[in-house]
């Protein structure tokens, strides 16, 4: 097998495992059970989760294209996840206190606009992080 194909398989598998782990860890920080809500058809939770997955995938793809080693690319993705998690918490807190808008509760209640807003925060954060790589 060509070495490039083998490397592509290893990088893809490693990235996929990392993204699954990051999405699972993210679900531990929400007020609700993400996967149960997705199974129940909550489109707000699903929308936020899909947008967050896209954001993390974009950062991982960018880090892979700029990294010299797999470990470096995975580390950048983990660090970006932490940055995005902190950014989300800070912005959610500011919006809750300043605008009296609780995104987490709205997402749990199935308000898709709340999920879109929260997911957009991740995408914008990912674009900024990726531009720094």
Residues 79-113 have pLDDT tens digits of 988 998 898 899 999 999 999 999 999 999 999 99
- Provide the pLDDT for residue 55: 93
pLDDT band at 26 (very low <50, low <70, confident <90, very high): confident
* For range 53-71, the mean pLDDT: 88
Element (H, E) at 56: helix 43-66
Is it the case that residue 1 has pLDDT exceeding 70?
A: no
Closest CA to 37 of 106, 85, 84, 131: 106
What is the Cα 38 distance to its own chain's centre? 16
Query: Which pLDDT value is given to residue 127?
Result: 94
pLDDT band at 19 (very low <50, low <70, confident <90, very high): confident
| 104, 83 contact by CB (below 8 A) | no
Rounded mean pLDDT, 27-37: 87
d(CA 92, CA 100): 10
Query: Coil, helix or strand for 133?
Result: coil
Q: Predicted confidence band at 65 (pLDDT cuts at 50, 70, 90)? A: confident
pTM: 0.85
Is residue 46 within 8 A of residue 108, CB to CB? The reply is: no
Q: What is the pLDDT of residue 125?
A: 92
- Contact yes or no for 91/22 (Cβ under 8 A): no
Tokens of 16: 């996929």
Q: Are 32 and 40 in contact (CB under 8 A)?
A: no
Q: What are 72-84's pLDDT values in tens digits?
A: 888 888 998 899 8
The structure tokens listed for 83 are 């940055």
Q: How far apart are CA 44 and CA 77, in angstroms?
A: 25
């Amino acid at each position: 097998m060509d070495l490039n194909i083998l490397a592509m398989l290893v990088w893809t598998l490693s990235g996929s495992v990392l993204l699954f782990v990051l999405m699972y860890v993210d679900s531990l920080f929400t007020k609700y059970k993400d996967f149960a809500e997705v199974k129940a058809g909550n489109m707000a939770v699903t929308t936020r989760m899909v947008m967050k997955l896209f954001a993390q995938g974009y950062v991982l793809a960018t880090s892979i294209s700029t990294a010299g080693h797999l470990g470096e690319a995975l580390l950048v993705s983990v660090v970006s996840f932490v940055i995005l998690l902190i950014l989300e918490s800070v912005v959610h807190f500011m919006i809750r206190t300043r605008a009296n808008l609780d995104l987490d509760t709205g997402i749990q209640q199935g308000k898709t606009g709340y999920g879109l807003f929260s997911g957009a925060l991740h995408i914008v954060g990912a674009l900024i992080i990726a531009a720094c790589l």
